[in-house]
Structure 1
Amino acid sequence: MRRWALLLALGCCVVAGAKDKKKVILPDDVLEARTALVVIDPDAGTPAEAPLGNSKVRDSVERALMNWGRFELVSDVSTADLVISIRKGSGKLAQETIGGVPVDRRPGVYQPSDAGGRVGMSTGTPPMAGDPTGMPGERPTPRLEVGGNEDLFAVYRGRRDNALDASPVWRMQEKDALRTPDLPAVDAFRKAVLEAEKQRAARP
């Protein structure tokens, strides 16, 4: 009888230990990242009704990141510790878009912000393989894009070829995740970073 009681107690300890073990929110290399590149999801077509929609959201996300002050924004994957891919959802099951146009190419940027803003130009650095800011290799064509009705904010490791082909280290995909001006996805990522830092500080 005592043997069964002991086994039961050990089993409870194992279960309790599994429950108490916290899931790692973000890996250390992500917490140590200091540069970031914000790109528009390369798979996103240009909405026919709002061709500048994703560009405006990207600009808002970049301003929010500058106001946060944690990351220096860069223009090349080769110098970005993190690559943040965004896409504004259509709110529809399907929408007309234009494919094959450069959704994420700009010669320069001027962005005032509460943190001082930034002025920059493309550095001319040769793109890495799979660079999400590269030019598409197809001609502009109308298409019907199915899905993509929710906003997307996904964080990937940078400084590597085909950065967006890997699994994201953090992701938020839901309705109004990129709603301006509050940008819930940016705020959620900031909270995830803070929680992960607390988790790391509590390690033995």
Structure 2
Amino acid sequence: MNNLIVFTGGPGAGKTSVIEHLIELGYHCAPEAGRKVIQQQVAIDGDALPWRDKVAFRDEMVREEKNNHDTYGSHHTFVFFDRCIIDSYGYSKLESLPVSDVLLSACHQLHYAKQIFIFPPWEAIFANDKERKQDFTEAMRTYEEMVKAYHQFGYELIEVPKQSVEQRVKFILSFIQEG
């Protein structure tokens, strides 16, 4: 069984809040590559930002996702991923970017648990911040692209119910412990 558990969906659907709660409970969690890239690029006034150079941003996310997989891929306990390499593919489709051979190869070579937890758009909790500049319509489009991308690569999507962070964590942990 693959212990790399992925959370996906559109921005602002509660993935990071659930990840933060799992960290508080002592679980290993991989950071969200997109947010990490944005923070690094802003700090150095770089161009690999979604509002400056979408291809460079995507390529940096791919690099970070490969690093995350290398770092956490050999853990013997559950590791929760705030997105994964398939999200970089979905982002490429969302933004009509060319899909590089490096990205396509990584999507086929990097493996995660077959059941992916997808967080549906939830307008009541959606909010922007320094790294998230999309509006809710874009969040819904992102969600739809992620559904297509994960299905294309053979993953099964498990929808996380719109509940409190604690209830969502309980749902996810119950699901993986029964599996």
Q: Normalising by structure 2, report the TM-score.
A: 0.31
Larger strand fraction of residues = 1
Q: Which has the larger radius of gyration?
A: 1
